[in-house]
Structure 1
Amino acid sequence: MKVAILVGSLRKNSFNKTLAEFIQKRYADKLDSEILDLNLPLYNEDLESDLPADVVAFKEKVRNADAVLFVTPEYNHSISGVLKNGIDWASRITPDLTEKPGFIVGASMGGLGTVRAQMHLRQILDTMGMRILPANEVFIGAAHTKFDENGALIDEGTVAFIDSVVHNFVEFYDRNK
């Protein structure tokens, strides 16, 4: 399964980028995944008649993916502008997200993980007709205690839970192809 990974943080040492890289490496036998560059120009309808090259490349990768993994931080109780901008580009001109299966994960230093951001993200994606894996919420709280200095996810309970969610997503995808 070809999976486009959208990470809602541009920060070099982002826990969410580290989480995406962990998922990409650990499940390489199940998911042929690519972390897409979300450092795109701000969505502007005026650019739709002559899309910037990086937007064209981004949209093509999303369109050609079988599924999308959203990795979201939580900024001010919602998703980041970076992630929203990527979603806006992916949903315009050609509906690159419609009917596409996906799942959501997120990490935060706070105790609740990314609960509120993920609620908003699910609401946004629902309006696009995406098929998001239900009942498998990955809210990684206290992320700074769950990764080591090299970016390895060291919390065994979290790793085991993500193992089960990825397994559930593969089954969900197979049922909904």
Structure 2
Amino acid sequence: MHQFIGLVGTNSTNSTNRQLLQYMHNHFADQATIELMEIKDLPMFNKPQDRKIPAKAQAMADKIAKADGVIISTPEYDHSAPAVLMNALEWLSFHIHPFVDKPVMIIGASYGSLGTSRAQAHLRQILDSPELRARIMPSSEFLLGHSLQAFDDDGNLKDEQKAAKLSGLFDDFQTFVEITKKLSNANATTYQEVRDLDWANL
């Protein structure tokens, strides 16, 4: 059974993105283990000269490194991923590199009708950056619009079509994880390239 991290891409106490990951944690419990990970307690990234990583960020990196993959649920603010999520990814690419070649699935929930399409596109660019180099599952947007009305009292998705699509995408992600394991020939050199990046000049 796969072990996944469900990264909550917000610092909001009441978030439908957290609710979406909780739904996946419960709904797919017989297929995989999904551990929710919060980012709200991280300090603001400031590129410390002593390269000291906050204990919270290091603990997050250790769990991500051990996981088979990461599912990130992002809100959309001003057509982009929220600053708190970018802050977490900055810490998770500062002399620690748990995302190198790590399979990632991106999902998102939004109060509006469009879901989080622009935020997901933005997040893909960030995760594909030289400092992170994650492996993002292609053609796999899951956009949950009108998310305040999307769940019933038990935390299940009301829309059967949306639930079916998410199930299909989750199956695809598990396949993507297995395929990614075979794409490991350049992993060592890719990881070294990322480690060799000179943060002083970034």
| TM-score computed with the length of structure 2 as normaliser | 0.82
Change in CA separation of 1:2 and 1:119 when aligned onto 2, cut-off 3 Å: same
Take 1:145 and 1:109, find their aligned partners in 2: how far apart are those partners? 9
How do 1:104-119 residues align onto structure 2 when only pairs under 5 Å count? Answer: 104-119=106-121
Partners of 1:116 and 1:48 in 2: how far apart?
35
Q: Which residue of 2 aligns with 1:156?
A: 160
* Distance change >3 Å, CA 47–CA 8, structure 1 → 2: farther
Q: Distance in 1 between matches of 2:65 and 2:179?
A: 20
Aligned to 1:15: 16
* Identity within the alignment, %: 37
Aligned-pair CA distance for 1:115? 0.5
Counterpart AA for 1:12: T
Stretches of structure 1 that go unaligned for 5 or more consecutive residues are none
Confirm or deny that 1:171 pairs with 2:182: no
CA apart distance, 1:30: 2.2
Give unmatched runs, 5+ long, in structure 2. Answer: 182-202
One-letter code aligned to 1:164: G
CA distance in 2, matches of 1:167, 1:158: 14
CA distance 1:11–1:151, shift in 2 (3 Å): farther
Cα contact 1:20–1:71 (8 A) shared by 2: yes
User: Could you tell me how far apart the structure 2 residues matched to 1:113 and 1:32 are?
Assistant: 26
- Of 23, 43, 46, the residue aligned with 2:45 is 43
CA distance in 2, matches of 1:151, 1:9: 19
Aligned to 1:101: 103
**Greater shift in the superposed pair: 113-122 or 21-30:** 21-30
Shift of 1:31: 2.1
Q: State the AA in 1 paired with 2:166.
A: I
Compute the displacement of 1:47 (Å): 6.8
- Structure 1 residue 143 displacement after superposition: 1.2
AA aligned to 2:140 is: N
- What is the CA-CA distance between 1:150 and the residue it aligns to? 4.6
Aligned match for 2:92, one of 90, 93, 104: 90
Alpha-carbon distance change, 7 to 23 in structure 1, aligned in 2, over 3 angstroms: same
Classify the secondary structure of the residue corresponding to 1:54. helix
Distance 2:30 2:49 in 1: 38
Instruction: Supply the AA of the counterpart residue of 2:144.
Output: I
4+ runs of 1 displaced by more than 6 Å?
none
